[in-house]
Chain A
Amino acid sequence: NAGVMQNPRHLVRRRGQEARLRCSPMKGHSHVYWYRQLPEEGLKFMVYLQKENIIDESGMPKERFSAEFPKEGPSILRIQQVVRGDSAAYFCASSPEPGQGFMQYFGPGTRLTVT
């Protein structure tokens, strides 16, 4: 069973461009979580999605950021008109149906650098 996959692993964008980050959850997992980790900072929750639904986006910046998890294919985190402050590591995690004691399984992350 392949783990959580993220691509690309490294992404360089110029200011004003769009960044698209992809996350393929573990087989059998239908719940995806996106986190951001700024340099030398801790993990910050961004958004929680199920297939075709956004469940909790309380950690998402109000502008320029969006996420989706379509019925088919990976979850996508999209950042429009990137700025230098968007440079960070973006991690995705997946889980089966949440329940007591459930775990999240993390991907290797995408390191976004905005130049």
Chain B
Amino acid sequence: AQRVTQPEKLLSVFKGAPVELKCNYSYSGSPELFWYVQYSRQRLQLLLRHISRESIKGFTADLNKGETSFHLKKPFAQEEDSAMYYCAPQMDSNYQLIWGAGTKLIIKP
């Protein structure tokens, strides 16, 4: 079955420290991968997608097909990065997104 796992429900790091939010998926094909972010009391918005190879707000994500992972990384966390982050692979033939449970990132000053 297609599944996406974000193992950390909560991740807390200090400002300036590196951040890695994990995302693993189970799918035999080649998914398109997205990270969405929800800042406090705001709507969800796209952070980045693998297909465009962008780096947004210092975040990058590398697709590791061998490990079926798409971890989100940032070398130096900022306080404004505190938010809820969702990994959402596009894995089925209907092109629907499969949503992870989300990771709440807290950046401590």
Contact surface of A with B, Cβ cutoff 8 Å: 4, 35, 42-45, 48, 56, 91, 93, 98-104, 106-109
Contacts and interface: CB of A to CB of B under 8 A. Distances in A.
Interface of B: 32, 34, 38, 42-46, 49, 51-52, 84, 86, 90, 94-97, 99-102
A101 B44 contact: no
A43 B99 contact: yes
B84 A100 contact: no
A7 to B, nearest CB: 14
Contacts of B100: 42
A107 B43 contact: yes
A48 B99 contact: no
Contacts of A56: 96
Contacts of A48: 96
A106 B43 contact: yes
A106 B95 contact: no
Contacts of A99: 95
A102 B88 CA distance: 12
A100 to B, nearest CB: 6
A100 B90 contact: yes
A45 B100 CA distance: 10
6 contacts: A35-B99, A45-B99, A56-B96, A91-B44, A100-B95, A108-B42
B32 A101 contact: yes
Contacts of A106: 43-45
- Sort A-B residue pairs by CB-CB distance and give the 9 closest, nearest first: A42-B102, A98-B95, A106-B44, A101-B51, A42-B101, A106-B43, A108-B43, A101-B32, A103-B46
Nearest to B98: A45
